Structure 1
């Protein structure tokens, strides 16, 4: 299945779209936040690092393994939400996200995660997607709240594994068909 940039999640009050080279200054600014830097493995300090990060997003789209969306509010970049599919056509995927410091605490992350989840199941369930996981370090209470508000119940504690020094949480959502039943083909 070919996914085009025009195919995207929808969330009230937010625009979710593929990242563009023009997002470079906003990415650099967002990654100046110490909380964001602490929670992400990759940092973006300059235009060269931003270009590498953006290239990874473009390559993911082309390969069908990573669908990363810029989250904008009133034209400003306020976050990122991404569907990671290690195997295109596989039964499982992972959702990831970050929110820029000025946008935190206003419910943007749960709205963006919910929009991405609905989009992912609508787009990929016919091709076999059955479960999406949201993973985070166990001490990240804000991510637990985002997961719960987005309909991702806690399913297990994941033991620490490098580069993560702490146990983590796995929250999961399963695909439900139009009748609200789990579809387990």
Structure 2
């Protein structure tokens, strides 16, 4: 696998650094373990990353997704002038781009919240997905109904609320929102 099959950028804003989106690398595991120490990450994320070994496994799962083409996951890095790569600030993913119901997902590290990282990264991923996959016409985004921050990110990036997803315990113990974005004609 080419370590850099795709690199995307999201520009700087007046209050935030530019973003670089690139596939996860093995050396990202150490900072990833620190990101998952955040209680909000443990609450909202479906992944369990308790230590460096879990983080290494999670990164390898993301890399495997690129190899199969079923899960195209990007590390979102804040890049300051002079940086080659930047500090991990989040994650965006395009799931099952060739399938019947492609989906996007994301999270933002605690230190990067409140600076527009999630909307800029999700916007870059969405634009790329609609360009890179000619047959792709619709993307969905799912989140727990009580995650108001995710609702705001979806709306800021053009994903309109499409409906309510009823809880399905134990995997999905709470109701969720379904947001949709259609390819522009």
Does TM, normalized by the shorter one, top 0.5?
Answer: yes
Q: How many Å separate the matches in 2 of 1:156 and 1:4? A: 37
CA drift of 1:91 comes to 4.4
CA drift at 1:58: 1.1
1:121 aligns with 2:126: no
Aligned length: 172
C-alpha RMSD of matched pairs (Å): 1.7
Ranges in structure 2 where 5+ consecutive residues have no aligned partner:
12-17, 80-85
Moved over 3 A (4+): none
CA–CA distance in structure 2, aligned partners of residues 122 and 48 of structure 1: 36
| SS at structure 1 position matched to 2:66 | helix
Cα contact 1:138–1:167 (8 A) shared by 2: yes
Distance in structure 2 (CA, Å) of the matches to 1:17 and 1:35? 24
The equivalent of 2:89 in structure 1 is 78
Q: Aligned to 1:56, what secondary structure does the other structure show? A: helix
- How far the C-alpha of 1:7 sits from its partner, in A, is 2.2
Using structure 1 for the length normalisation, give the TM-score: 0.88
The aligned counterpart of 1:141 is 148
Mapping of residues 30-179 of structure 1, within 5 Å: 30-74=35-79, 75-85=86-96, 89-124=98-133, 126=134, 128-162=135-169, 163-176=171-184
Asked if the contact 1:95/1:132 (under 8 Å) is kept, the reply is: yes
